[in-house]
A and B are shown apart, each in its own frame.
Chain A
Amino acid sequence: MALQTPTSHEQEWREDLQRVGFVRKLLAGRRWYGTDWWLVAISAVMVLGFIILALFPSLFAPYSPDAQAGPRFLAPGASPDVPVLVSLASSSISGLSDLEVPAGDPRPSVGVVRGVPTAQALNDQAQALNDELSGTGMELRPRIARFDTLEETLQAVADGTVLAAVVQSTEYEQVAGDYPTVAEGESITGGVSSEGGFILGTNQIGQDVFSRLIWGTRIALLIGFSASIIALVLGVPLGLLAGFRGGKLDRILSVVMDSLYAFPGLILAISITAVLGPSVLNVIVAIAVLYIPTYYRIVRGQTLSVKEELYIEAAKSIGARSSEILRKYIYPNVIPSVAIIFSVNVADAILTGAGLSFLGLGLPPDTADWGIDLARGQGFIQTAWWLITFPGLAIMLVVLAFTMMGEGLMEIFNPKLRQQ
């Protein structure tokens, strides 16, 4: 007497379901889970984005975070005001070095606007370059022609009266349209001249805010993930043991964990970093210690309830050893809740990390970190608002992304709410 094989009908649809790809199931989930699906999807994309930024910051950041690449306090999107060489579009002259001529040849004429410090900058730069050229047979000694207004200077370039002119980039850009034959070349001081070079502006020592933001992702995620992982690796086994064994071990551990948990998080982290000293590793350790009790409590609670399930009794009845029961029966049933908590935990850890560095603790002061940037930008809220806005936004977005993902996953994986 054998149970009939699943009728061909049933078998068909079972196989169909297995053939349905991951992507289709994913999309089918959209209708079933509704808003939660969107939450998880959007936040997963965001989290992925942040992780990529953290792994490959140099691909995205235009500058090194420590490089003082631009002028100080440049507003977002504004072009830095640099002296720039302009010449006829048809000519091949774009930089000062293009004006080099063999010694003895006629000196090139370069126009400047009278009364503007560009002449001085031109002289300085030319002098510096000339010194470099000594002995090579080339020289850079432009003849300076002065004009009254910017328009006259530019007109002279267009007419060919002068070979090139050096003007302030911002002023030039305003009237560039009137002189279509004139093209902008390089900045003579080496800074970037074109608009949008510093999309989020620069800070008080000329570092690109955008690049610091991207590099800051690396530190933030590093701290967040490392601390959470360490807390998990320590907290989960302790929770399992305490929940399973009970008795004295459970009581002692719970007392310790509860005391740790009762501490206001930031204060505990501050005390630990103050004792250990500033370094990335110490910050990670401090935050990890903070979150061990979270994992401990959750795992212990889950273990206590799973322990009462019938399949645990069944496992005992077939003669499984306690270690086996812990490993094969309790652990796999407890872990899903941990995975979800992990996501929210990373968000929390990043926040705590930023808080620590904001207070000037933990990280060495030359690290590119959002908290540090926030601290430094505090004093300039009114004059340079972008110094704290963008790091603040970054922290908020990362925390939001991880939290949303964790919460969304929690809704999806909670089977009781999803009875079919």
Chain B
Amino acid sequence: MVENLVEVVGLRKWFPVAQGFVASLTGVPKEYVRAVDGVTFDIRKGEVFGLAGESGSGKSTVGRLVLRLLDPTDGKVVFDGVDLVSLSPEEMRTLRHRMQVVFQDPLASLNPRMTIGEAIEHPLKIHMPQLSGEDRHARVLQMLDQVGMVPPDFFYAKYPHQISGGQRQRVVFARGMITAPDLIVADEPIAMADVSVRALLLDLMMQLKDEFDLTYLFITHDLATAKYVCDRIAVMYLGRIVEIGPLESVYTNAQHPYTRALLDAVPVPDPKHRRTEPLPAGEIPNPINPPPGCNFHPRCPIAQAGICDGMEPVLLPVDGDSEHLVSCHLRTGEFQDLDPLR
């Protein structure tokens, strides 16, 4: 039985919209941006779990909630059996060395006034105060070596702006892994790197995963890249998961109309395979006032009035496969006979 490293249950994060002075006085009901609106999933130990979606889907917010860089409005995050919300700030701080993050923009996530060596050493200083200065220095050099920044002494004293983008992202990896964490949340880790460097970075990530026995939460909008690294994947739309399952199943047998549209829309680097399918109408709606029921229904090619605009669908197994779940009235549950694809 594979154990779950992270369990997310009914996670919600609603950001209040600033109200005008008059509105707050006259009791106009407050509005919220529903960034994450009821998300449930597990991350199994040792896997690469992909969280895919467009901007506004809430995937980055979920990442921050899992790390408790944000506090949830509702729901819970359980890390290795511990409910994160129940921890005091100090307890949370000491737990942090087991869960690290790699952000999208390496230049922005490195302190411009700290050398690379200092930046990587800092987590060691915080979480392993028993190590001597020399020990720490040695570990940092070793880490730099492992992420391919050779010769490590050369890079130790450099500042972030003195090295290339691809190298910076390696530094961010190094910083994230120096405390030997269990979980790494990677939020668009290669999006800002050059195309020819991305493959190298992905390779590095997988290598480090094996070496350090890591688990990844891989957040991305690039479904093509996700295909290369993820074991399981969840697709998010407007704060909710619409489909989740093993990579093969989701990509070859996508059930949710949004997933199909997304997969279809990805530009393929082959002119012989240009897209022919129609795209969903309209644009991503305002997260302050999401559509009722299934929040994709206004754009959905198979939406049925009376069903899809009423009740919110839940994640249910596809064809009895408990691994592959989809949240769509017409694909699962009682309304399956209305599914035009059947």
| A contact residues vs B (CB 8 Å cutoff) | 1-3, 5-6, 309-311, 313-321, 324, 328-329, 332-333
Contacts and interface: CB of A to CB of B under 8 A. Distances in A.
B149 interface: yes
A310 to B, nearest CB: 4
13 contacts: A1-B148, A1-B207, A3-B148, A5-B154, A6-B154, A309-B108, A310-B108, A310-B109, A313-B103, A313-B109, A318-B97, A320-B122, A333-B113
B94 interface: yes
B100 interface: yes
B75 interface: no
B109 A319 contact: no
A1 B113 contact: no
A2 B123 CA distance: 24
Given A2-B150, A318-B122, A319-B93, 8 more contacts: A3-B166, A311-B108, A311-B109, A311-B110, A313-B109, A314-B172, A319-B94, A319-B127
A311 B111 contact: yes
A318 B151 contact: no
B111 A310 contact: no
Contacts of B154: 5-6
Interface string B87-109: 00000011011001101010011
B23 interface: no
Contacts of B145: 2
Given A319-B126, A328-B114, A2 B67 contact: no
A318 B126 contact: yes
B111 A5 contact: no
B69 interface: yes
The 10 closest A-B pairs by CB, nearest first: A319-B96, A3-B148, A332-B113, A310-B108, A318-B123, A314-B109, A310-B109, A2-B148, A317-B101, A311-B111
**Which one of A318, A328, A329 has the greatest number of beta carbons of chain B within 10 Å?**
A318
A315 B123 CA distance: 9
A317 B100 contact: yes
Given A5-B150, A310-B105, A321 B93 contact: yes
Interface string B141-175: 00001001111001000000000001100101001
A306 to B, nearest CB: 10
Nearest to A11: B154
Interface string B227-245: 0000000000000000000
Contact of A3 (B97, B105, B111, B170): B170
Contact of A317 (B67, B127, B148, B207): B67
Contacts of B94: 319
A318 B97 CA distance: 6
